[in-house]
Amino acid sequence: MEHGELIPHLFRIEYRKIVSVLSKRFGFDQIEVAEDIASDTFLTATQSWGIGGVPPNPTAWLYHVARNKAKTYLQRSHVYDSKIAPVVKNSAEESAEIELDLSPQNINDSQLQMMFAVCHPVIPAEAQVGLSLRILCGFGIEEIADAFITSKDTINKRLLRAKEKLREEKIKIELPDAAQLEGRMAPVLTTIYLLFNEGYYSVSQNSTLRKELCLEAMRLCTMLVENPVTDTPASNALLSLMCFHTSRFDARLSESGELILYEDQDTSRWNTEWIGKGGYFLSRSASGNKLSKYHLEAGIAYWHTQKNSTKEKWENILQLYNQLLQIEYSPVAALNRTYALSRANGKRQAIVEAERLQLTSHHFYFMLLGELYTDIDQVKARLHYEQALNLAKTPADKQAIQKKLDAL
């Protein structure tokens, strides 16, 4: 791999590790310094490797440069004079030994601790997702703006406000203690869930970016289940849910980027390896006595990976939706439940339930009604599909709806 391709690849993987370790070392109030040192490390690599070629161990080279830059900063800065020096008792001999721990264990621990810091409930959920993308996933500001369909300026301001709030509240980069862990896990899981959804259901047309968002969410969740402290039933259930969804990722879009609805998907394109992983984490989540929304959504996603469209399948999905709506109501879940109802009990019963929802600002609502009225009242089916077409925002959604209209 040429250095022009290798550096962006390493940036995605190593930037987050370096920033997390440096931030843990300096404290959250110096996070911009940590980001600057990490960015400067990659700038140095670009210049050096362009002249002298790629070193035998590029990652070790990056860590060595980052470590030296951090040591220089610590020795020269006000932070060193006022905070570090008193700790090492102003000993010239000891100050020369200032070290940055870039061992695999500390890198992993630092990222996990950073996850809890940037997912702190003192900042809004969208800022938690944005900071996670930037600090924990190594995404550039332009990529984050693309994912959220907004401007770079908006993202920059959002992240700056979030960092300032975390500094004001003196949020530490550490794992919460046992008494706080359950409460603090909730926003972390929510952020990972939102990050995955941003990729899976995104209106962005960048399909590569969308898949990367999903895979990064799964990487963060994997870090949780691999640590004994954060290996909870809910984190396993969330990872299971994402594995099941990811198994159908490639079947959801045509080569031209057109959305393929569930009943029209080519099941041979479903990834059996991801389905197997989903089953593994679902079985791991079946401990404890608390049923989370992630357990129920993982169960629904599991049944969606079963290729045979039997009455039993849709009855199971319907019952899981009934439980999910009792735990946490959402209009989208109610809409999806109505589709499951139509497959389990027939379209006429589902129409009654669907029309009670009155989700008239949601194009999927009218898509569902169009589907339900097809073969019952073609005129109404067409009207609903036309309303869905007017509300749809993305070309992929518009194409899928137009295909339904043409079929009528």
Q: Residue 199 is encoded by which pair of tokens?
A: 């990729």
**pTM greater than 0.75 (yes/no):** yes
CA distance 318 to 302: 13
Q: Which residues, listed in sequence order, are joined to residue 253 by a DSSP beta bridge?
A: 259
Q: In 192-246, where do the E strands start and end?
A: none
Q: What is the Cα gyration radius of the chain?
A: 25
Whole-number Cα distances in Å, 194 to 44, 72, 190, 222, 264: 35, 38, 6, 16, 26
Contact of 134 with 141, CB cutoff 8 Å: yes
The contacts of residue 189 (CB under 8 Å, 6+ apart) are 221, 224, 234, 235, 238, 294
Of 219, 218, 221, 205, residue with least CA distance to 246: 218
**Number of helices (H), then strands (E), in the chain:** 21, 0
The contacts of residue 91 (CB under 8 Å, 6+ apart) are none
Number of other residues whose CB lies within 10 A of the CB of residue 297 = 24
CA distance 143 to 15: 15
Of 385, 392, 348, residue with least CA distance to 366: 385
Per-residue pLDDT of the chain (408 residues; tens, 9 = 90+): 566 678 888 988 899 999 999 999 888 888 999 999 999 999 999 999 989 899 999 999 999 999 999 988 888 875 556 655 555 544 444 444 457 788 999 999 999 999 999 999 999 999 999 999 999 998 889 888 888 878 999 999 999 999 999 999 999 999 998 889 988 999 999 999 999 998 888 766 677 778 888 999 999 999 999 999 999 999 999 999 999 999 999 898 887 777 788 888 999 999 999 999 999 999 999 988 889 999 999 999 999 999 888 889 999 999 999 999 999 999 989 999 999 999 999 999 999 999 999 999 999 999 999 999 999 999 999 999 999 999 998 887 888 899 999 998
